[in-house]
């Protein structure tokens, strides 16, 4: 049944809409792959919830996603990757048949590969930064690295408002990022799926000497490598299909989703989770 497994979709889970940046990166790198996206829009944002609550919500939503036959699952949400990846692997990947990856590992590896001075910054939601997942992975792989972390809670609502490059966003970016600029970092991890939308403003504030690491792109490359290693790439030359499931407000998801994908979304289905 190898052919069958190749034909299966990649599952992408996110707390809401931000994971569409990961979907976009995967679709650009692997246009033939089918993708099913699950956004827990009833309970977004995860970034201000406790770690226990994030795990509870994520486990339930990923459990629902797994009722569809998938070849792998990507936890696109940085907060869920930081707080709950272990629990999700336990739930989904016990046998290793459906591998589960998060976005923290790929982002951290990429930053280490590209930093020249060993001084790395990471920005993310309150929960992601407080959880210290990026800091932990980077320090484990390269103990001499200096990691400076900064929570930027306003960046998610700014991106969802579509204010990606106006004076409000630039003023907020200066407030959050000016302290990082004094630390002489040469690499900055965008540790939240929404942040690639604000890449232009972040690059302006940080200046040309700081390279930005987009976890979405790093994750897409890891997905490709993993599918290739397991012989699970879809062989067909025709484009893959994309389907979307959300736990609330599908119209809003479709509307804001266009900002992320730069194109209208196909079918968005509402699924109600009892938790």
> Which residues are annotated as catalytic?
77, 192
In the complex with a copy of itself, which residue's Cβ is closer, 95 or 274? Answer: 274
Alpha-carbon distance of 86 to 74, in angstroms, equals: 13
133 alpha carbon, distance to own chain's centre:
14
Alpha-carbon distance of 64 to 188, in angstroms, equals: 34
Minimum CB separation of residue 245 from a copy of itself in Å reads 15
- Can you tell me which of 48, 117, 184, 236 binds a copy of itself, judged by CB under 8 A? 48
- Can you tell me which of 157, 209, 228, 269 binds a copy of itself, judged by CB under 8 A? 157
13 alpha carbon, distance to own chain's centre:
9
> What letters, b where the CB count within 10 A reaches 16 and e where it falls short, cover 106-124?
bbbbbbbeebeeebbbbbb
> Is residue 249 within the footprint of a copy of itself (CB under 8 A)?
yes
> Is residue 137 within the footprint of a copy of itself (CB under 8 A)?
no
> Is residue 255 within the footprint of a copy of itself (CB under 8 A)?
no
Alpha-carbon distance of 59 to 18, in angstroms, equals: 18
Q: With CB under 8 A as the contact rule, which of the stretches 35-43, 96-104, 215-223, 234-242 interacts with a copy of itself?
A: 35-43
56 to 85, contacts with a copy of itself by CB under 8 A? Answer: none
- Can you tell me which of 73, 103, 158, 188 binds a copy of itself, judged by CB under 8 A? 158
Helix axes 104-114, 215-229, angle to 10 degrees: 110
Minimum CB separation of residue 222 from a copy of itself in Å reads 31
Q: Nearest CA to 99 among 243, 246, 275, 232?
A: 232
Residues binding a copy of itself (CB under 8 A): 41-44, 48-50, 53, 126, 153-154, 156-158, 160-161, 163, 166-168, 171-172, 175, 248-249, 252, 274-275
């Amino acid at each position: 049944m190898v052919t069958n497994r190749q034909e299966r979709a990649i599952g992408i889970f996110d707390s809401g809409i931000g994971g569409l940046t990961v979907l976009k990166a995967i679709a650009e790198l692997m246009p033939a792959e089918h993708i099913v996206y699950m956004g827990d829009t009833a309970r977004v944002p995860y970034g201000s919830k406790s770690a226990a609550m994030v795990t509870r919500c994520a486990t339930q939503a990923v459990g629902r996603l797994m009722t569809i036959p998938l070849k792998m699952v990507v936890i696109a949400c940085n907060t869920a990757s930081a707080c709950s990846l272990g629990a999700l692997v336990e739930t989904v990947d016990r046998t290793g048949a459906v591998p589960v990856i998060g976005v923290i590992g790929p982002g951290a590896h990429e930053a280490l590969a590209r930093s020249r001075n060993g001084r790395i910054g990471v920005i993310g939601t309150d929960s992601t930064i407080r959880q210290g997942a990026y800091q932990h992975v980077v320090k484990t792989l390269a103990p001499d690295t200096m990691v400076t972390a900064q929570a930027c809670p306003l960046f998610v609502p700014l991106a969802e408002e579509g204010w990606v490059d106006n004076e409000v966003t630039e003023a907020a970016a200066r407030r959050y990022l000016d302290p990082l600029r004094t630390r002489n970092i040469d690499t900055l991890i965008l540790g939240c799926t929404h942040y690639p939308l604000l890449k232009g403003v972040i690059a302006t504030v940080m200046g040309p000497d700081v390279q930005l690491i987009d976890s979405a792109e790093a994750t897409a490359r890891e997905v490709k490598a993993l599918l290739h290693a397991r012989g699970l790439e879809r062989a067909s030359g025709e484009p893959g299909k994309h389907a979307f499931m959300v736990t609330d407000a599908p119209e809003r998801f479709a509307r804001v989703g266009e900002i992320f994908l730069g194109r209208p979304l196909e079918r968005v289905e509402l699924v109600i989770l009892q938790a």
